Amino acid sequence: MPPELCIFVQSNILEMRSMPEALPFFVTPKAVDENSPLLQQLPHWAACSITQALEFLTPPYKGHPRVMAYLLRVLESYPPDRVTFFMPQLVQALRYDEGKLVEGYLLRATQRSDIFAHILIWHLQGETSGPELGNDASSEKNSSFQELLPIVRQRIIDSFTSKACDMFQREFDFFDKVTSISGVLFPLPKEERRAGIRRYYFTSVDFVSYTFIVT
């Protein structure tokens, strides 16, 4: 970015507080490395877009406390359902969430929206896998990440009301039944699979599940 523009923004920082577009001209990896006094302006800065805020979750910003506080303030300013589109980035951010600020935001958002909670659970479950290959540092980081995923998932479930817990259980039971059908049908020739669905329906899956599969 043009250095002249950076100098202009930084020289007029107090007049720029209402302009989220000015953030990249003073919130930089270099400013984070130097713990620049300019970062003290962030508590007073207007909220930016979710997309712009999530840029601050990337490693160059190193989870700087002032930057993270601004990021979380931005996320909190949006309804959780607006944030669900960015769930993959938020879940990945748990890898570097040493202060547990992202985890705290996610758990608070699940209290505000059952939809957010269910989408988050699916993403947490989808990220659960075996250990990745790599150097010792990355393997250790991934191992910690994998250990955290079921913990966060269980915290969400434990916080459900009885009504939300019942809906969650029915939802996951339904999808367990649907996905289990794949294993039953895979060995069958293609021309026999529709009949196999009907057989499986009568022995295991309720009418709603059957309708979902064949339509």
Joined together, the tokens standing for residue 39 give 């970062």
For residues 96 and 30, give the distance between their C-alpha atoms in angstroms, rounded to a whole number: 19
Contact 159, 168 (CB under 8 A): no
Joined together, the tokens standing for residue 152 give 């966060």
DSSP 113: -
Residue 111: CB atoms within 10 Å:
14
What is the model's pTM? 0.73
DSSP 33-63: HTT-GGGGGGGGSPP--HHHHHGGGSGGGTT
Which residue's structure tokens are 């748990």?
A: 94
Residue 211: CB atoms within 10 Å:
11
For residues 62 and 182, give the distance between their C-alpha atoms in angstroms, rounded to a whole number: 43
Per-residue pLDDT 10s for the chain (215 aa) are 778 889 999 999 999 999 999 999 999 999 999 999 999 999 999 999 999 999 998 889 988 999 999 999 999 999 999 999 999 999 999 988 888 999 999 999 999 998 899 899 989 988 876 545 455 556 777 888 999 999 999 999 888 877 766 776 776 665 566 555 565 665 667 666 566 555 655 555 454 444 444 44
3-state SS, residue 160: coil
For residues 212 and 215, give the distance between their C-alpha atoms in angstroms, rounded to a whole number: 6
Contact 205, 181 (CB under 8 A): yes
